[in-house]
C-alpha cells in the first residue's frame, strides 16, 4: 500500500485500541478491519505508517494470543 492509499484508508475506518494497551500510555497499537484486510498502526502516531495484513493472517495472529 502506498502513502496516498494509506492516508485515505485511515479516514474511512473505525480504529480500536488494543485491549493489551495499558491506560498509562507506553506501547499502544490500534487496529481497523476493512473488507479484505486489517490495518495496524501506532496509536501515538496515527498519521504514520500502517501495517496491513489479510484478515486470515490477522485471525491466525489473534489465535496465538
The pLDDT assigned to 2 comes to: 44
The pLDDT assigned to 41 comes to: 92
List pLDDT tens digits, range 18-64.
Answer: 777 666 666 788 999 999 999 999 988 889 999 999 999 999 999 98
CB atoms within 10 A of CB 59: 11
Residues 36, 56: Cα–Cα separation, whole Å: 9
The pLDDT assigned to 65 comes to: 75
Local confidence band at 11 (pLDDT 50, 70, 90 cut-offs): low
The pLDDT assigned to 25 comes to: 64
CB atoms within 10 A of CB 15: 15
16 within 8 A of 65, measured Cβ to Cβ: no
**End-to-end Cα, the chain, rounded Å:** 27
Amino acid at each position: 500500500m502506498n502513502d496516498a492509499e494509506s492516508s485515505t484508508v485511515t479516514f474511512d475506518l473505525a480504529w480500536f485500541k488494543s485491549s493489551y494497551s495499558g491506560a498509562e500510555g507506553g506501547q499502544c497499537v490500534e487496529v481497523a478491519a476493512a473488507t479484505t484486510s486489517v490495518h495496524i498502526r501506532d496509536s501515538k502516531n496515527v498519521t504514520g505508517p500502517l501495517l496491513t495484513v489479510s484478515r486470515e493472517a490477522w485471525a491466525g495472529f489473534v489465535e496465538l494470543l
